[in-house]
Structure 1
């Protein structure tokens, strides 16, 4: 009975706060916000610029005190900038990947460089944010010292879908344009359903785990934070969804060198920055085979690939990514 009471309180009780690390707004464009996380004692002149996925809020990067990526970077003495995409509305339906990279990321990096008075920047991309980071680095005029991508989809010919599903979806069994015509902006429920179909179509096990450990206060706190983020999918603009579906998933244009941004070809071979690629061995969403090809596509002389024991999300929320960044980024930010 005590467990059932705590189980009910965990689900119906007040939500725990997110974005725990102090930050200030330094730039805004449309719904997107550039946040600055300032260190108490600055150790490195090269700031860190972070790009997250379009599918969810970036709060997983500031999950909880003691395991926050943002907190870890700030405590290690970095100026940190996070580009938060915000919540897209129907009026944003035409925004596509090209717009996000050329009109948002590029301008936000320029703003971060001016704000920090730095001459170079380290760019970190997580999940689809890593794909965007790689695309941006391939065309960037700004000086990128280090490029780090974690759990990143690059080669979309590698899939986690069942073979028949993938065959049907890629052979026009799914028409993204029809969905976009109806909604303009893909609703969060549809975004969540896409991920559930791949990772956990029957979403009961988290609640079973909560009931079993409902009298463990530490577990319940982590569960509530994770459940809040996991149900926090955001709308996806029709323009971005169209390019993700047609140009990347179906035609794999990024690996083929055929993807363009405002007429400029995205050639990953033009990336020369120091490179770190991190994959999670237990990632059910982005398998290592999707990430590994970038190692051969870039021209970086200093490049490292790491495969760690973690899941797609636990890499960030458990603090494992912090340790990796502390070691690698510290050596490459002197």
Structure 2
């Protein structure tokens, strides 16, 4: 026996044999696997502005909801996280409950997009998509679902155009960027953003990814790959694992000017809380958010801590404000089994109560 770890020669030999069997099985598992697909729900392009595309998802049945939902995702990752696979799809869950779902795909910025600003993303792209939906459905306003950074953009848009947003839903959305447990914000505050953007132009996706992974280096650089050994002989589990890996590393570059504005106004200066946030010269006041608001946050979120999201309650001007506390993390809120049961149903029920 070796010390307090209670490791014996027999247990070591058994573990070594198990590892060898798993590695041997992995050869056959990987040989049988093809490309890992993502995005399970059919969709059609309905509007475009440059690289930015608005898609409408097609469910098995026609939607029963009169007012559509527009999803605005973050810029740093691809939006198919909300429709990752058949048993892990927020979109599929909402469609099954009769909702009419649209999503903005920001595309992959290149050097020609270097000077896209927050105003472009909020007024031109979100605003253009909202105008299209209002015209297509004959409505004065639509339901807006903003996720993570897309939630911050949605707060800005809804504050500037409250007449265009019937109901506002935010998921894992940062509002107070200076909570004590916000490691990402603490790091960002030490960056010379002007020097970074002036030097690089667009911010490379690999740099952004490395930053996010370093927030949990042991878990995201080592532990998950060690744990992968346990599923090497399970084709379905390996496909799920690789699908998630593909999403993590399928990150667009960030348009330089928008990155500069967002980082300085929110990560560094916390302007939702302190005031003075601006989009194209117009000041954003969260007190203008008088429409019904559903704010969903994750209790174990290391990117957007709960207090960062909960701050919206004290800053918005709505008398109809609801929170959903989800027991999970930043990614689990889309793909976990618990999320499939709780999140789409909560959104649907909340909207249904306000459509009467």
Q: With structure 2 as the length reference, what TM-score do the two structures score?
A: 0.86
Alignment of 1:49-198 (within 5 A): 49-140=70-161, 142-160=163-181, 166=186, 170=189, 173-198=190-215
Correspondent of 1:272 among 290, 314, 328: 290
**Counterpart selection for 1:242 from 260, 272, 278:** 260
CA distance in 2, matches of 1:304, 1:283: 19
SS for the counterpart of 1:210 is: helix
Query: Residue in 1 aligned with 2:345?
Result: 323
Corresponding residue number in structure 2 for 1:251: 269
Task: Give the C-alpha shift of residue 151 in structure 1.
Answer: 0.6
Matched with 1:295 is: 313
| Partner residue, 1:36 | 56
Shift in CA distance, 294/6, structure 1 to aligned 2, threshold 3 Å? farther
CA contact (8 A) 1:53 1:126 kept: yes
Cα deviation, 1:186-209, whole Å, max 9, x if unaligned, reads: 111101012112233661222112
The 1:169–1:82 alpha-carbon spacing in structure 2 relative to 1, beyond 3 Å, is: closer
TM-aligned CA distance change 1:10 to 1:97, over 3 Å: farther
Give SS of 2:232's match.
coil
Alignment deviations for residues 264-304 of structure 1 (CA, whole Å, 9 cap, x no partner): 11001001111111111111111011111111111111111
Q: Does 1:26 align with 2:35?
A: no
Question: Which residue of structure 1 aligns with residue 16 of structure 2?
Answer: none
Q: How many residues align?
A: 330
Change (3 A) 1:169 1:129: closer
Farther off after superposition, 16-25 or 32-41: 32-41
Work out the CA distance in 2 between the residues paired with 1:50 and 1:162. Answer: 27
Query: Structure 1 residues 138, 315: closer, same or farther in 2, change over 3 A?
Result: same
Residue 162 and residue 21 in structure 1: after superposition, are their counterparts in 2 closer, same or farther (change >3 A)?
closer
Question: How far apart, CA to CA, are the structure 2 residues paired with 1:180 and 1:283?
Answer: 28
Query: Structure 1 residues 98 and 199 mapped into 2: Cα distance closer, same or farther (>3 Å)?
Result: farther
Any idea what the Cα deviations from partners look like across 1:140-176, whole Å, max 9, x if unmatched? Answer: 164312111011111111154569x93x753xx4211
Offset at residue 15 of structure 1 (A): 2.8
Scaled by the length of structure 1, the TM-score of the pair is 0.92
Distance 1:131 1:250, change over 3 A: same
CA contact (8 A) 2:122 2:157 kept: yes
Q: Report which stretch shifted further, 112-121 or 9-18.
A: 9-18
SS for the counterpart of 1:236 is coil
1:62–1:68 contact (8 Å) kept in structure 2: yes
Bigger fraction of residues in helix: 2
Aligned-pair distance for 1:321? Answer: 2.3
Which residue does the alignment assign to 2:354? 332
**Retained in 2: the 8 A contact 1:7–1:210?**
no
Which structure is higher in RCO with an 8 Å CA cutoff and minimum separation 6? 1
Instruction: Please give the alpha-carbon distance, in whole angstroms, between the structure 2 residues aligned to 1:169 and 1:240.
Output: 15
What is the CA-CA distance between 1:102 and the residue it aligns to? Answer: 0.9
Which one has the largest radius of gyration? Answer: 2
**Contact 1:131 1:152 (8 Å CA) reproduced:** yes
